[in-house]
Amino acid sequence: MIYIKTEEEIELIRQSSLLVGKTLGQVAEMIRPGITSLELDKRAEEFIRDNGGIPAFLGYSGFPNTLCASPNDQVVHGIPNKQHLIEGDVISIDCGVLMNGYYGDSAYTFCVGEVAPEVKRLLDVTKESLYIGIEKSVHGSRVGDIGNAIQEYCESRSYSVVRELVGHGVGRKLHEAPEVPNYGRRGTGPMLKSGMVIAIEPMINQGSRNMTFERDGWTTRTKDGKMSAHFEHTLAIRNGKADILSSFEYVEEVLNRKS
């Protein structure tokens, strides 16, 4: 069942999504060589709770932490730990918030210090592909139009698109219908209607699209050990132009200040 949200519901999802964006801004402040993802996780949980939210991932299907923290060849769903990040790493931070009965969800892949130019390019293309998918997220389009746009953009630049994990609807549940793959054929899949709220989250690999699941039941890695990147926005479908409910503004304000 695909739920069409009222304007009031969309505003509540926006509040949750903006708190996710602010939390990612807190994470951006802390990211540097020598920090651990567990330290980032602790700060994120404190910040979410201090601002009236509940960490959406903590305890979700048994997940043990507030953040999914996935460095380097980890695709998504990495569990925060005490391993120190080092210069040249990248790390995808995925965060969700429950507030006022509605979820928000967003992710950003960060550079740790100076990273290799070819890795930075992977991050840039992945982020660009997110916005290309968002451009297709309008009333009257289909889910396949989003995936096709992301897939064509990334594959034309010699990257590969993860198939096993996809975007999703967002609302009173963290994961609602429809699924939103980052690949597909134009003109296929459920029709997008004004008032639908979805999360688009390209997961793009430097090498092969194939990945493996770790024994912890959560962590996913690229099969060939090459880098992966992940960016995500929650947005509402509208006539003419999507309404992005989450925000990278808080992250990029910090990153611009640190650069």
Using one digit for the tens of pLDDT, what is the confidence trace for 106-145? Answer: 999 999 999 999 999 999 999 999 999 999 999 999 999 9
- The answer to the question of residue 32 being in a domain is yes
- Give the mean model confidence (pLDDT) for residues 41-57: 98
- Domain of 154 in residue numbering reads as 7-258
Read off the pLDDT band of 259 (50, 70, 90).
confident
**Domain-located, residue 22:** yes
Residue 50, pLDDT > 90, answer: yes
> How many domains are contained in the chain?
1
Q: Is 1 part of any domain?
A: no
Q: Over 90: is that where the pLDDT of 236 sits?
A: yes
Domain for residue 233, yes or no? Answer: yes
- Would residue 133 count as lying in a domain? yes
The angle at the Cα of 243, spanning 18 to 103, to the nearest 5 degrees, equals: 40
**CATH code of residue 160:** 3.90.230.10
pTM of the model: 0.98
Compute the average pLDDT of residues 69-76. 98
Give 8's contacts (C-beta < 8 A, 6+ positions apart): none
Q: How far is CA 216 from CA 63, 68, 133, 145, 223, in A?
A: 10, 13, 31, 34, 16
Q: Tell me the pLDDT tens digit for each residue of 199-230.
A: 999 999 999 999 999 999 999 999 999 999 99
| Beta partners for residue 95, in sequence order | 67, 106
Residue 2 lies in a domain: no
Q: 164 in a domain, yes or no?
A: yes
How many CB atoms neighbour CB 120 within 10 A? 14
3-class SS of residue 55: strand
> What Rg value do the Cα atoms of the chain yield, rounded?
17
